[in-house]
């Protein structure tokens, strides 16, 4: 499920607030983001984030000085992409379209079933992690293939388990 993350006093993960995006529109006023029923959406001056199928669309009021990735949004509407940042009223939000990697039992019949790290097949029921790129890795005490290195060998995404988003304050 896509999520919206707000960084408080720093860009450190422990200072982060996470807002899951449900089917309800989300009002963002800088310090807060709250889901509202569609018939109560007529709140002037706030950003609205709506899910539209598998996309998330940010709607900005005409007077908004909110920035997406550091730039104004000319038409007042933007389909958010993974790791877009939203700055509004001094608060910084970041959009994540991806779930954090988790250790789960590998399901029989899942494809691909070859771990890109060790090139061995993953047995059904074995503890495994699926990277956002779709590849599966062993993740056991004997074969810690997923977090063996800092990045996925296929897509270079960070391999920290439970890290909500690969986040680099310098980017």
Residues at the interface with Zn ion (CB under 5 A)? 115, 117-118, 131, 133, 138, 143, 145, 152, 154-155, 157
* Distance separating alpha carbons of residues 117 and 115, to the nearest angstrom: 5
- Kindly tell me which of 43 and 118 has the beta carbon lying closer to Zn ion: 118
Q: Do 51 and 63 meet the contact criterion of CB atoms below 8 Å apart?
A: no
Least distance from C-beta 27 to Zn ion, angstroms? 34
Least distance from C-beta 126 to Zn ion, angstroms? 9
- Kindly tell me which of 6 and 117 has the beta carbon lying closer to Zn ion: 117
Least distance from C-beta 120 to Zn ion, angstroms? 6
Least distance from C-beta 151 to Zn ion, angstroms? 8
* Distance separating alpha carbons of residues 16 and 130, to the nearest angstrom: 24
- Closest Cα to residue 8, out of 34, 35, 30? 30
Least distance from C-beta 68 to Zn ion, angstroms? 26
* Distance separating alpha carbons of residues 92 and 145, to the nearest angstrom: 34
DSSP designation for 90: T
* Distance separating alpha carbons of residues 20 and 116, to the nearest angstrom: 31
- Kindly tell me which of 87 and 147 has the beta carbon lying closer to Zn ion: 147
Long-range contacts of 14-20, Cβ-Cβ distance < 8 Å, separation of 24 or more: 16/164, 18/164
- Kindly tell me which of 51 and 157 has the beta carbon lying closer to Zn ion: 157
- Kindly tell me which of 93 and 146 has the beta carbon lying closer to Zn ion: 146
Q: How far is CA 16 from the centre of its chain?
A: 13
């Amino acid at each position: 499920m896509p999520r919206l993350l707000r960084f408080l006093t720093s860009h450190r993960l422990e200072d982060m607030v996470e807002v899951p995006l449900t089917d309800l529109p989300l009002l963002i006023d800088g310090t807060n983001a709250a889901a509202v029923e569609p018939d109560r959406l007529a709140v002037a001056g706030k950003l609205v984030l709506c899910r539209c199928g598998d996309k998330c669309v940010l709607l900005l009021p005409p007077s908004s000085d909110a920035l997406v990735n550091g730039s104004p949004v000319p038409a007042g509407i933007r389909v958010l992409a993974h790791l877009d940042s939203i700055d509004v009223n001094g608060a910084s939000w970041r959009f994540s379209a991806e779930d954090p990697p988790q250790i789960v039992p590998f399901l029989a019949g899942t494809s691909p079933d070859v771990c890109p790290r060790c090139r061995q097949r993953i047995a059904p029921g074995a503890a495994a992690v699926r990277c956002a790129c779709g590849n599966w890795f062993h993740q056991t005490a004997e074969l810690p293939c997923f977090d063996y290195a800092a990045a996925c060998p296929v897509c270079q995404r960070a391999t920290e388990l439970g890290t909500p988003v690969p986040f680099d304050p310098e980017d």
